[in-house]
Amino acid sequence: MQDFGGGDEIRFERAGKAGLVTLTRPKALNALTHGMVHALSKALTAWADDPDVALVVLQGEGRAFCAGGDIMRVYEAGKAGKPYYDFFADEYRMNAQIARFRKPYVSLINGIVMGGGFGISFHGSHRVLSENAIFAMPEVGIGFFPDVGGSYILPRLKGEFGLYLGLTGERIRYGDALSVGLATHAVPAEKFGALVAELCESGEPDAVLKRYCITPPRETDEAAAHAINDAFTPADLKGVIAALQNAPASDDFRKKTLATMLTRSPTSLNIAFRQIRAGAMLSMDECMAMEFRILNRMLEGHDFYEGIRAVLVDKGSKPVWRPGSLAEVSEAEVERYFAPLPAGELQL
């Protein structure tokens, strides 16, 4: 055991040639706390220059890998008039730290991975999903935006699948994740125990994973994949909506996709569209600086707190977004979210 902080929420071990990290909040679906973020960052700093650590292996206890950040703490802080800027600043720095980590960083995802869980895993070199993995970036459904580096990864997925995921919050499994480049490997859950042991023993993830990986079929059929690439190609959000609205009556996938998007925060949809399109041309560090600008405005606004209220506080109630429709969101308001921060930008 190695102590980098984090208490009983995250465990660090030196196992053979690996630095082994285990998220240990299974009752909370391993949701990230500020302490966990600090601890993981300290571990990566120490292991980056440790010649006895050949790779990092990250896993989660229980039925979830990591379902996101500890969003209720963020909600309560904001409602108390003390927005949780520091948590996100440290989380975003840690996301960038993972992206630039020079050694193999192997995330073993056997369960739910969303939001903050995406941020601590998918910026690493090896993203291994089992058949139990469920991935989503559901932020637009709670009046937020696909952060923790979503700006960097989503536009780099094959076709327009990343934009589709960001604007709908839909869940996918390992076949889709592998086919679009989100996952690097798929391994049956029953093999994870043996896989961890071999990774720690050999320190050579490519060779080990080659022996364990499979190629599952894609869950999204060809017609739906074509619809995604066609409907999410337009240069603006209005064009995407029009492409979905003008679908043939027989196209159930496009109708369902449009219906899903129209339940999301109109402000969040506009922000997510712009950030994902912009992120395609930015470095990881530039994406994190952009996201921190957006984050500051989100924590000062209405929809994020309203979304959390509806989904987690008054569970099952319908959020009342402000503005309430896409037509009411002005370009000037969207621009405001991306403007430089008067108090200074995120320092990475």
Mind telling me the catalytic residues? 69, 116, 139, 147
Asked whether the beta carbons of 230 and 239 are under 8 A apart, the reply is no
- DSSP 8-state code for residue 23: E
3-state DSSP call for residue 1? coil
Q: In terms of Cα–Cα distance, which of 314, 224, 320 is closest to 263?
A: 320
Query: Read out DSSP for 85-122?
Result: HHHHHHHHHHHHHHHT--S-EEEEE-SEEETHHHHTTT
Structure tokens at 161: 């699948």
Asked whether the beta carbons of 30 and 89 are under 8 A apart, the reply is no
Report d(CA 101, CA 81) in Å as an integer. Answer: 36
Kindly report the number of other CB atoms within 10 A of residue 93's CB atom: 17
Residue type, 257: T
CA distance to 170, 215, 279, per residue, from 247 (Å): 19, 32, 28
Report d(CA 51, CA 41) in Å as an integer. Answer: 18
Q: Decide the pairing of beta strands 55-60 and 126-129.
A: unpaired
Report d(CA 102, CA 106) in Å as an integer. Answer: 12
CA distance to 112, 120, 136, 203, per residue, from 103 (Å): 25, 15, 26, 10
Q: Does residue 138 have a cis peptide bond before it, meaning omega lies within 30 degrees of 0?
A: no
Provide the edge-to-edge strand list for the sheet that holds 10-15: 10-15, 18-23, 55-60, 105-109, 126-129, 185-186
Report d(CA 289, CA 207) in Å as an integer. Answer: 36
Residue 286's contacts (CB-CB under 8 Å, 6 or more residues apart) are: none
